[in-house]
Amino acid sequence: MKDSSSTTIREARRSKSDPLAKTSSSRDAAQKTKSDILISIMPLYMNRIVERTKDHEFRGYLIPKAVSRMWLYVSSPEQTLKYIAVVSHGKCPGEIENQDGIGNADFNAGAGVACRAYAYEIRELYELLEPLPLKQMQSQYGVSFPQRYTYVLQRMIDDIVLEDQKRLF
């Protein structure tokens, strides 16, 4: 049987010797939400989304249906979290109605560079008023750029309020 007082003492000792040790309050702050994910995107593709010539993000994997927002980390050379997009659920080839966006027709036909398994429509796009460089994202939230995707920490959502950002569309 576990003695709760010894656990508390252990945690107290650990937090004194290691300022980054998880206490109950820091564990709470590290909670992740299932509605927001962080993904990396190349600057070229991000610019096309901002210009509205690209209206879907294509990925080789299905993102859970609970996800409604993608936090867009713009990769090298920028290396900055700059945008939040409100997105659709994953679409399969043949399900994109608007053929005009870059890659849409190829995706629907199952051909070309856009031949990925799933497409996510960018319904709304917000630009962060204070973009978050990689080093600051790592030091402030313990988060790095994802290889695939990662869920966003609740603390980030609390600190970077969507409604306070600049809505581009």
Whether the per-residue pLDDT at 79 is higher than 90: the answer is: yes
Of 55 and 8, the structure prediction assigns the larger pLDDT to 55
Question: How does pLDDT run across 40-64, given as a tens digit for each residue?
Answer: 999 999 999 999 999 999 999 999 9
Is 66 in a helix, a strand, or coil?
Answer: coil
Highest mean pLDDT (candidates 15-19, 26-30, 68-72) = 68-72
Q: Where are the beta strands (DSSP E) in 42-158?
A: 56-59, 69-74, 80-87, 118-133, 150-153
In the predicted model, is pLDDT for residue 15 greater than 60? Answer: no
127 Cβ partners below 8 Å, 6+ apart? 50, 82, 83, 165, 166, 168
Structural domains present in the chain: 33-167 (3.10.590)
Burial class of residue 154, CB neighbours in 10 A (0-12, 13-18, 19+): middle
Distance of CA 20 to the CA centre of its chain: 24
pLDDT value of residue 24 = 36
Provide the pLDDT for residue 41.
97
Please give the pLDDT value at position 40.
97
Residues 80-127 have pLDDT tens digits of 999 999 999 999 999 999 999 999 999 998 876 555 689 999 999 999
